[in-house]
Structure 1
Amino acid sequence: MARLLRDAYGVPHLVAASLPDLLRAQGWVTAHDRTWQLEHLRRRASGTLAELLGPGRGGSVLAADVLARRAGVVEQARRAYDALREDTRAALASYVEGVNAGLRSDAAELVALGATPGRWEPWTPLETFLVQHLLFARLPGKLWSARLREVLGDDARLLSSEGPSPSGSNAWAVGGERTASGLPLVAGDPHRDHASPGPYLQVRLRNEDPADPFDVVGFSFAGVPGVQHFAHAGEVAWAITNGQADYQDAFREELRRTADGGVEARGPRGWEPATAHRETVSVAAGEPVQVEVVRTARGPVFHGEVGGSGGALSLRAASDVVGELGFDALLPLLRARSVADVEAALGHWVEPVNNLVVADRAGAVRYALVGRVPLRDDRNRRGPVPAWEAGHEWTGWLDGARYDVAPDGVVVTANERRGAESDLVGTAFASPHRAGRLRELMDGRTGLDVEDMAALHADVRVGVHGSVVAFLSSLDDAGLSDAGRELRAAVLSWDGEASVGSTGVTAFARWRAAFARRVADEPVFAALREPVDLPAPLAAVHDLPHQVALGLGSLLSDAAGPAPFGLDLPALATAALEDAAAEGPLRPWGEVHTLSPAHAFDAVDGLEAPGVPRPGLRGDVETVCCEGSWTPYSEVAYRGSVARYAWDLADVARSGWVVPLGADGDPAGAHHGDQATPYADVRLLPVVTDLAALREEPLG
């Protein structure tokens, strides 16, 4: 038997006498609170979302379905499930049993669509995890970087240098000699696209089986049992950030049809058999679409057709090669008692590759890179390589860096390049600003506590501020209109903080957007403005104005030297000042930079997404308090911290956490958006550990 208790924000605390009962309860409460989210994820993974929503605006829903089919998400998840240990499969069975019992037919989105939720299989959690991370690695960026080099040659580095990461996070740990309690602190926040409901669920899992006791608080992916990335297990706490690792390769494939209707692919030793079959993607209010699913010796063909000459692309990914995702880590993480336990558990991890920071009550603090990074030719890391050319084979796996942190030390990871050790990990890392800023704010400080960690979460210093001020100060303003001079003065007098009440950051953001549009419209970039022949989910990164905005720091760092690409940057910047000034009076940042979580209905004409709170947010794309916009098209915050936490090893009850919306995925639920205000204020909510302070609800 199990009990369901909730705190004042509806966060579920689950207590059971056995592991199967506990995981069934977790599955049930996840389905009860997040039925639509689970159905959406299940259909995304199986490539059946268009059957429910139709093709989507611009065919976006259908394109995602086709990619999921061609990538073989379900087949790969089933193989990974078959490779799991028996106890992990049993745990998944218990969780899925709970999910199927908890799914609700009255979920608002399903009612609007006249649909009912589908049944989950024991391997469905692997499907949903895999589909969310299919494009999480370097593949989209690798294809963009290759296109840049093809068009711009050596100058491509100015648009592909290190900058804000599309999938980043902050995480840090503080040794006990620097804290108020004398025991370590672990804190951080993952950065992903904001969504309604959000990707992470706050949960407490307490197993009272005397033979297998544990009591863990943390964040769980919807549809996945246990806690994965951020948790406090009483004796040990951990956090991760994206390792920015390159563990996916794209191969250019030459495919041909055989006399009997089969498919062959040209490999290093000539033509070789490939597997192929056809699947039908059903489309609501539309004709079904036939998809040929082809798999070569490299991996699934995700783009291109049979018969093209080197135009098709296949994907070789670490999880596909080893046939595992890393789910054998889930149970050991729940039972972890030490730094060594957590590191051993994540020895099973495959992808995404993550930076791990972990600390325990014995005072140990450690960093480790966890996951599988292949060893291969450097050309594989730069772009698609010919499948028929020898020398691109994977030859082994990188032994990831790991080291202990002194009791008076601090470890920070924010997706930045970590010295020479990063050269074999990846090719594109985040700007060092966030990591450097966190170290700066903790430098020399002692007596740190959870409140201090929350203050670090709230830092809004913009990394490019100094470069922008220096560049705009150097401009000759003789040709500027009065409005242009006022806009320039607003940026130059700005303190570099992206605070909600600031109009200076609004002036900067307007100029950045206008400058990005001006630069992207230059003739030298004409080829990069052409539509790219890639699946829609992969093509988004090829938006040139957005890439220019992200690369602003790199572009300005070279402004004092020879003109990059032959551009007249001062003239473009001056014109951008006039463009920005023409937009009218400046409004405080919090009025234009509002929380904007995506919903599946956003992509479908005629469907209205349920309402959510949209508070004004501090921060920008590369501040520690990360809240990024799709510059230059909008200043609303479409991505940022999708959870914040601070774990105190001295006492779980002194820890804190928060998510952008709330625990409940039901738009009519009391806890659908009740964390939005503390989230916007960058306040952490207390982790309640006293069962007597919780309210009990019926379970099942």
Structure 2
Amino acid sequence: MARLFRDPYGVPHLRASSVTDLARGQGRVSVLDRAWQVEWLRLRATSGTAAVLGTDAAAAWDDLARAMRVEETARRALAACSAETQAFVGAYVEGVNAELSRTDPGSVPELAHLGHAPGEWEPWTPLATFLAQHLLFGAIGSQLWDRLVTQVLGDDAHLLRHEGPQAAGSNAWAVGGRRTASGLPLVGGDPHRNLEQPGVYQQVRLACDDPDRPEDRFDVLGFCFVGAPGVQHFAHAGDVAWAITNACADYQDVVEVDPGLDAADLPADLLPLRPGLAVRTSSYLLGELGFDALLPLLRARSVDDVDRALDRWVEPVNNVVIADRAGTVRYRLAGRVPVRDADGGWTGWLPDPHRHDAGPDGVVVTANERRGPESSMVGRSFAPPYRARRIRELLGDRRGLTTADFAAIHDDAFLPTAPLLARLVPGAFDDFDGVMAAGSAGAARFAAWRSALVRRLVAEPALAGLADPGPEHDHGPLLAWSMDPVVRVGLALPTLAAAALADERPLGIDLPALARAALGDLAAKEVPATWGDTHVARPVHALAEVGFDAGIPFLPVSGDQDAVRTMGSWPAISDAATRGAVARYVWDLADRQAGGWVVPTGASGRPGPHHDDQLRPWLDGHLVPIVTDWDQLAEDSSFSKNASA
């Protein structure tokens, strides 16, 4: 059976003598620390949210999960897994159900608020929760927006694409050993998603010492998705470490179909989105997600091991950064990317994972950007290049790099687009250094002007067709953000500014004149004293709409959308940061304890000391220690006692 230890921040460290005992223990810990989240993920995966919440948004989600056949795909994907993977996932489910059976719903604030008891997990539920987490993670929103903007603007549609447009993103980078103080590689990064409470990622350590199986003697720490066993995306296994970013690949296609077709009459490879539109996805077509990679990742000892494990991955498609103690630093693409014929039909899968090694003097950076000519085979909508360029600039040709240096890169709040936009109004922001610091008055004034400019742009007649495009472009509340012209114009503002500064009139608009008028708008309103007065981190809770208070304060936070310290705000809509870094980490291949990690609130989703004890370090741009010495950890003896009860 597994034994549970905790570090000073309540992070679970699990030890077991078999991978199934380890998975069973991880399932139990998921419920101990995140009981509400475990149930919420199950409800989302099984189209059960509306029955509990009764809201329009919940009903829309359930409709989408049914249309995208989450349960069916999860069942097929589990059946496609090896017997060993099925046993691993099954043991996790056993652990979840065992701990749920011991959980008093009244002791979990969210369940008590709803008067709801959690349901039992099925063997396929972990795959369903993982798939549901990523239903809208691909290109569906961007493709729907592209249909609309192309219809309204024709050849000028590219001006509102923000090199995507993509508001999602993450940063990951690595340097070779000749660039570090220790002589071994460093890996760092931060995934960007919606800020949620509880957080999407859980810090965890999984150690196995199977006396009969040398491959199952491993010790891996990282971030896992609650609801799935193992560590999927970010981990340090002692001899090797890895990290990912979204590759912005087109593994989901929106396809026009006869609007009179019933869902049952669609071709077998299509899923209904709405009348006249369907979706083709890699996971549904293949009946796989890639869970056969999970155990090989835990067993990995080298870059090559991680690389081979990720050959099994399906979706989401990721950019992967890997480094090991032998000094290898590698980039590779992981996941199934479809190859299309001239008519857009899928004819096979991209055979080249686009891998390359950086060398001991090298650097690998990935921030969802278009990486080069090969990217045209991967997708059409990438993030702008600003974050990737800035990280490379901050790394430069520096030597002797440490965890502290990487943490400073995490914390870089310089907005690369600020100097570009300021050129529209020469002299107006000469006293602003471009750093979106929470305490900055210059950042507050710049952001207020930017919002005023977006409001004026959206009101231009050339964009009128985007504001009221007709019912065929109404895709419901879940995709409303993707179709919001205010959001899209705000994201595309640097693209429009670059065109205007090149002596063009983007969309026939005199952008410098609008920019000057927007300056005048500031005189008629009160500008916040500092950026942090309105730019606050706002983690959302699934039950906020039904009156539940998660108890997490909304506090000032530095950063902005295209900064390395990504804390997305939406000009002309809200300055609040509702998405950004949902974790930060530095993996040091010389010494795991020399690295660090942090999440936005805490390791636990339950009220108590570890509910929000990482909030202040996260806000301040600091990492909390990684503790690997078992003697420095506190064992939870009741965990083993309950397992044998």
TM range (shorter): over 0.9
Q: Which amino acid aligns with 1:231?
A: A
1:371–1:82 CA distance, 2 compared to 1 (3 A): same
Alignment partner, residue 527 of structure 1: 465
Alignment partner, residue 413 of structure 2: 460
Whole-angstrom CA distance in 2 between matches of 1:647 and 1:230: 9
Deviations 1:171-227 (A, max 9, x none): 011100111111111110001110111100000011122322110010000101000
Q: How big is the shift at 1:109?
A: 0.7
Describe the SS at the equivalent of 1:471: coil
Q: How big is the shift at 1:255?
A: 5.9
Alignment of 1:674-685 (within 5 A): 674-685=613-624
2:441 to 500, 503, 508: 503
1:378–1:5 CA distance, 2 compared to 1 (3 A): farther
Alignment partner, residue 222 of structure 2: 218
Deviations 1:236-256 (A, max 9, x none): 000001101111112212265
Q: Which amino acid aligns with 2:32?
A: H
Whole-angstrom CA distance in 2 between matches of 1:6 and 1:334: 20
Whole-angstrom CA distance in 2 between matches of 1:379 and 1:147: 20
Moved more, 407-416 or 537-546: 537-546
Whole-angstrom CA distance in 1 between matches of 2:2 and 2:487: 49
Describe the SS at the equivalent of 1:202: strand
Alignment partner, residue 80 of structure 1: 77
Alignment of 1:336-375 (within 5 A): 336-375=300-339
Alignment partner, residue 593 of structure 1: 535
Asked if the contact 1:244–1:426 (Cα under 8 Å) also holds between the matched residues in 2, the reply is yes
Alignment partner, residue 20 of structure 1: 20
Q: Which amino acid aligns with 2:556?
A: G
Describe the SS at the equivalent of 2:555: coil
Describe the SS at the equivalent of 1:635: strand
Alignment partner, residue 546 of structure 1: 487
Q: Which amino acid aligns with 2:116?
A: A
2:611 to 664, 672, 675: 672
Alignment partner, residue 602 of structure 1: 544
Q: Which amino acid aligns with 2:610?
A: H
Describe the SS at the equivalent of 1:207: strand
Q: Which amino acid aligns with 1:688?
A: V
Alignment partner, residue 273 of structure 2: 302
Alignment partner, residue 518 of structure 1: 456
Q: How big is the shift at 1:163?
A: 6.2
Whole-angstrom CA distance in 2 between matches of 1:175 and 1:405: 7
1:612 to 528, 549, 552: 552
Alignment of 1:269-280 (within 5 A): 276=264
1:690 to 629, 636, 640: 629
Whole-angstrom CA distance in 1 between matches of 2:226 and 2:169: 19
Whole-angstrom CA distance in 2 between matches of 1:126 and 1:220: 13
Deviations 1:542-568 (A, max 9, x none): 110111111111010011323112212
Asked if the contact 1:50–1:65 (Cα under 8 Å) also holds between the matched residues in 2, the reply is yes
Q: Which amino acid aligns with 2:632?
A: A
Is 1:442 matched up with 2:395? yes
1:237 to 213, 238, 241: 241
Deviations 1:506-530 (A, max 9, x none): 1111111111111111122121101
Q: Which amino acid aligns with 2:252?
A: Q
Q: Which amino acid aligns with 2:238?
A: G
Q: Which amino acid aligns with 2:595?
A: S
1:67–1:445 CA distance, 2 compared to 1 (3 A): same
Describe the SS at the equivalent of 2:361: coil
Alignment partner, residue 478 of structure 1: none
Alignment partner, residue 189 of structure 1: 190
Alignment partner, residue 123 of structure 1: 124
Q: How big is the shift at 1:47?
A: 1.0
Q: How big is the shift at 1:378?
A: 5.9
Is 1:627 matched up with 2:567? yes
1:546–1:205 CA distance, 2 compared to 1 (3 A): same
Whole-angstrom CA distance in 1 between matches of 2:539 and 2:351: 36
Asked if the contact 1:615–1:677 (Cα under 8 Å) also holds between the matched residues in 2, the reply is no
Alignment partner, residue 97 of structure 2: 100
Is 1:644 matched up with 2:592? no
Whole-angstrom CA distance in 1 between matches of 2:332 and 2:382: 17
Moved more, 15-24 or 410-419: 15-24
Alignment of 1:91-490 (within 5 A): 91-103=88-100, 104=103, 105=105, 106-162=107-163, 165-210=166-211, 211=213, 212-254=216-258, 276=264, 295-304=266-275, 312-377=276-341, 380=344, 392-473=345-426, 489=428
Alignment partner, residue 568 of structure 1: 510
Please report the TM-score for the alignment, with normalisation by the length of structure 2. Answer: 0.95
Whole-angstrom CA distance in 1 between matches of 2:495 and 2:298: 43
Asked if the contact 1:516–1:546 (Cα under 8 Å) also holds between the matched residues in 2, the reply is no
Asked if the contact 1:513–1:632 (Cα under 8 Å) also holds between the matched residues in 2, the reply is yes
Asked if the contact 2:414–2:564 (Cα under 8 Å) also holds between the matched residues in 1, the reply is yes
Whole-angstrom CA distance in 2 between matches of 1:127 and 1:609: 28
Identity fraction in percent: 52
1:558–1:80 CA distance, 2 compared to 1 (3 A): same
Whole-angstrom CA distance in 2 between matches of 1:510 and 1:448: 37
Q: How big is the shift at 1:379?
A: 5.8
Whole-angstrom CA distance in 2 between matches of 1:410 and 1:370: 19
Alignment partner, residue 660 of structure 1: 600
Alignment partner, residue 35 of structure 1: 35
Unaligned ranges ≥5, structure 1:
258-262, 264-274, 277-293, 305-311, 381-391, 474-487
Whole-angstrom CA distance in 1 between matches of 2:354 and 2:342: 19
Whole-angstrom CA distance in 1 between matches of 2:500 and 2:411: 31
Q: How big is the shift at 1:325?
A: 0.3
What is the total number of aligned residue pairs between the two structures?
628
Alignment partner, residue 70 of structure 1: 67
Q: How big is the shift at 1:590?
A: 2.1
Whole-angstrom CA distance in 1 between matches of 2:95 and 2:340: 43
Asked if the contact 2:445–2:527 (Cα under 8 Å) also holds between the matched residues in 1, the reply is no
Asked if the contact 2:424–2:515 (Cα under 8 Å) also holds between the matched residues in 1, the reply is no
Whole-angstrom CA distance in 2 between matches of 1:497 and 1:513: 17
Deviations 1:264-308 (A, max 9, x none): xxxxxxxxxxx73xxxxxxxxxxxxxxxxx65333111212xxxx
Asked if the contact 1:164–1:622 (Cα under 8 Å) also holds between the matched residues in 2, the reply is no
Q: How big is the shift at 1:63?
A: 0.8
Whole-angstrom CA distance in 1 between matches of 2:90 and 2:407: 38
Q: Which amino acid aligns with 2:151?
A: E
Deviations 1:416-464 (A, max 9, x none): 1111011111112111111111111111111111111101111111111
Whole-angstrom CA distance in 2 between matches of 1:602 and 1:579: 34
Whole-angstrom CA distance in 2 between matches of 1:146 and 1:535: 16
1:2–1:298 CA distance, 2 compared to 1 (3 A): closer
Whole-angstrom CA distance in 2 between matches of 1:617 and 1:178: 31
Give the RMSD, CA atoms, in angstroms: 1.5
Q: Which amino acid aligns with 1:600?
A: A
Asked if the contact 1:643–1:657 (Cα under 8 Å) also holds between the matched residues in 2, the reply is yes
Deviations 1:64-89 (A, max 9, x none): 11111111111111111110100000
Whole-angstrom CA distance in 2 between matches of 1:683 and 1:576: 36
Q: Which amino acid aligns with 2:616?
A: T
Q: Which amino acid aligns with 1:141?
A: S
1:256–1:159 CA distance, 2 compared to 1 (3 A): closer
Whole-angstrom CA distance in 2 between matches of 1:548 and 1:517: 9
Asked if the contact 1:630–1:638 (Cα under 8 Å) also holds between the matched residues in 2, the reply is no
Whole-angstrom CA distance in 1 between matches of 2:588 and 2:555: 29
Q: Which amino acid aligns with 2:536?
A: T
Q: How big is the shift at 1:398?
A: 4.2
Describe the SS at the equivalent of 2:435: coil
